[in-house]
Amino acid sequence: MFKNRLITALVLAPLVIAAVLLLKPTPFSVVWGGVILLAGWEWAGVSGIDDRVGRIAFLVALGLPMAIASFWAPYTVDWLMWPVVAWWFAVGMLLRAKPDKALAIRLPVGLKLGLGWFILLTSWILFIWLRFNFGAVQALYLLVLISFADMAAYFVGRSWGFTKLMPEISPGKTVEGLYGALAVSAVLAVAVGLWFKLEPLTIADFVILSLVTVVTSVGGDLFESLLKRQRGVKDSGSLLPGHGGVLDRIDALLASVAVFYAGSMLLGLFLQSAEPVTIEVPTEMDGAPVQVEPIEPEPDDSASEHAPEPMAPEADEPDATDAGTDESAPEE
């Protein structure tokens, strides 16, 4: 099984990296949307929908708002992440406090489908926003963070894990594995912060955000495990040898992307550039995203500042969109 898991990871990793780093808004949205729809097919099965017609109907309900995102996404850019963060916080508190009672709760099939629709759709748009508002590197960092945390939890848990984390829901997860995941995540965050020459205080914020993101990702993994145990299945599917289904592979990402995106927004964390940044909503299906609100950095003598704050451009400074020309910004 481990051999299959390794081979699958080696095949998928270059494809995922290429998609995040190279694809433009429209193809990236379509590719990521395809992954979400595959996960949606499996979510319907885990929720109790066995017939093909029922699963297709769920995919239509999920795919339709994705296809018309240009009509609704611009109106949700400032707040959509917060209901998602609140949901995963509530799930984490419930699983932590009363895992046995959480397992005993038998949700109706319709409610499970509604939760899946909400989780999958919001994860789709939030990861797109993360990719094009904060840059490919920041999106790729989230994927690497989740992958490293998962591998650390797996190896530490197998080698030194004795204390079960939530045996009622996921017998294989251990407290020691979680600590190993957090330790590796902290080291990774510090290394990335130093690589991008972030300020010490910004690195501290980055580490905290990364740790909170990893804890949330564990909650997403456990919630899917809860649904699978209630359904009586081990994996959500069999499309990925050694990993189970697509939903098994991205469950942690579905939970963590909202927290990481919201934290990046609040802290003003931009790994890629200290240049003026334009927050965009990539909903134009013919190419460039729709500009929503410009965010430009305050003047700073330090070249290592990576957390720009909103401000208006100085009257005697050239406009960022006219870089390379001889015209200056108009007087206010």
Confidence of residue 227 (pLDDT cuts 50, 70, 90): very high
pLDDT, one tens digit per residue, over 106-141 is 889 999 999 999 999 999 999 999 999 999 999 999
Q: What is the 3-state secondary structure (H, E, C) of the chain?
A: CHHHHHHHHHHHHHHHHHHHHHCCHHHHHHHHHHHHHHHHHHHHHHHCCCCHHHHHHHHHHHHHHHHCHHHHHHHCCCCCHHHHHHHHHHHHHHHHHCHHHHHHCCCCHHHHHHHHHHHHHHHHHHHHHHHHHHCHHHHHHHHHHHHHHHHHHHHHHHHHCCCEEECCCEEEEEHHHHHHHHHHHHHHHHHHHHHCCCCHHHHHHHHHHHHHHHHHHHHHHHHHHHHHHHHCCCCCCCCECCCECHHHHHHHHHHHHHHHHHHHHHHCCCCCCCCCEEEEECCCCCCCCEEEEEECCCCCCCCCCCCCCCCCCCCCCCCHHHCCCCCCCCCC
| pLDDT on residue 216 | 97
Q: Is the dihedral of CA 186, 190, 196, 200 positive or negative?
A: positive
Asked whether 198 and 170 are in contact (CB, 8 A), the reply is no
Q: What is the mean pLDDT of the chain?
A: 84
Residue corresponding to tokens 């920041």: 138
272 compared with 202, residue with greater pLDDT:
202
The band of 243, judged by pLDDT with boundaries at 50, 70 and 90, is: low
User: Given this model, what pLDDT does residue 321 score?
Assistant: 41
Burial class (CB in 10 A: 0-12, 13-18, 19+), 194: exposed
The answer, yes or no, to whether residue 234 has pLDDT greater than 80, is: yes
| Interval 141-192: pLDDT, tens | 999 999 999 999 999 999 998 999 998 898 889 999 999 999 999 999 999 9
Residues contacting residue 88 through CB under 8 Å, at least 6 positions apart:
216, 219, 220, 255, 258, 259
pLDDT in tens, 44-68: 999 999 999 999 999 999 999 999 9
pLDDT tens string 248-265: 999 999 999 999 999 999
Are the beta carbons of 249 and 240 closer than 8 angstroms? yes
**1 falls in which pLDDT band (50, 70, 90)?**
low
Closest C-alpha among 26, 67, 31, 35 to residue 290: 26
Q: What is the pLDDT of residues 14-43, one digit of tens each?
A: 999 999 999 998 999 999 999 999 999 999
d(CA 249, CA 251): 6
Specify the amino acid at residue 277. Answer: V
